[in-house]
Amino acid sequence: MEKSETKRTITVGLFVLIGIIIFVAAVFLLAGQQKRFVKSIDLYAVFDDVSGLKVGNNVWFSGVKVGTVKKIDFFGSSQVKIRLSIEEEAQKYIHKDATASVSSEGFIGNRIIVVEGGSIKLPIVESGDVIEAKKGVSTEEMMNDLQANNKNLIDITNNLKVISTRLADGKGAMGALLSDSVMSMDVKSAVKNINKASMGMNQTASSLSAFASKLNTPGGLANRLLTDTVVFSKLTQSVGDLQKLSSDAAVISSNLEKTSQRLNDNDNAVGVLLNDPDAARSIRRSISNLESSSVKLDENLEGLKHNFLLRGYFRKKAKDSVKNQRD
Q: How high is the pLDDT of residue 55?
A: 92
Q: How high is the pLDDT of residue 204?
A: 79
pTM of the predicted model as reported, rounded to 2 decimal places? 0.39
Q: How high is the pLDDT of residue 168?
A: 67
Q: What is the mean pLDDT of each run of 10 residues along the chain (327 residues)?
A: 69 79 73 62 91 89 91 90 91 92 78 90 92 76 76 83 70 62 70 80 77 65 62 70 74 70 60 62 73 69 62 68 70
CA distance 115 to 134: 10
Q: How high is the pLDDT of residue 129?
A: 92
CA distance 302 to 255: 51
CA distance 211 to 288: 76
CA distance 301 to 314: 10
Q: Do the Cβ atoms of 256 and 263 come closer than 8 Å?
A: no
Which DSSP state fits 119?
-
